[in-house]
Amino acid sequence: MKLVIEPVPEFEKDITKLSKKYKNLKKDLDTALKVLQVEPTNESRSKRISGLGENVVAPIYKLRKFYSEDFKGKGSSSGFRLIYAFINDKIILIEIYHKNKQEVEDRERIKKYFSSKSNNCLIKK
């Protein structure tokens, strides 16, 4: 069964911004998403993000093994990080960034969409 992939609005802005510098990013992202559809929680590629607080109502993952044509010779160590949630056969894309420009994920963005206390929470009880 094919998983549904759905980005949050800020994710689209991340892609637009990064694509200006990294010309192959959209194609590389498509490849990464095909892999995620087969194994969305594979621990050798993705790591579940901890310490988000008890109000975050979905498992959030960071994909670190992200191959990019823009970094030939680096293998899967391109430096891109893809933050996503995996819930009920749906992958929700939260954020993409390069680790040289940003050290860690935007936890406020995660909480905006996945905290039970947020008006924007994508998970309804």
Measured from the Cβ of residue 50, the count of other Cβ atoms closer than 10 Å reads: 6
Please indicate whether residue 41 or residue 74 has the higher confidence score (pLDDT): 41
What is residue 91's predicted lDDT score, i.e. its pLDDT? 93
Chain-centre distance for alpha carbon 54: 20
Q: Contact 85/114 with Cβ under 8 angstroms? A: yes
Say if 49 falls within a structural domain.
yes
* In a domain? residue 120: no
* Chain centroid offset of residue 123 CA: 17
Is there a domain that residue 10 lies in? yes
Domain boundaries, position 99: 4-114
Per residue in 53-112, pLDDT (tens digit) is 888 888 999 998 777 777 665 555 567 899 999 988 899 999 999 888 888 999 999 999
Global pTM value: 0.87
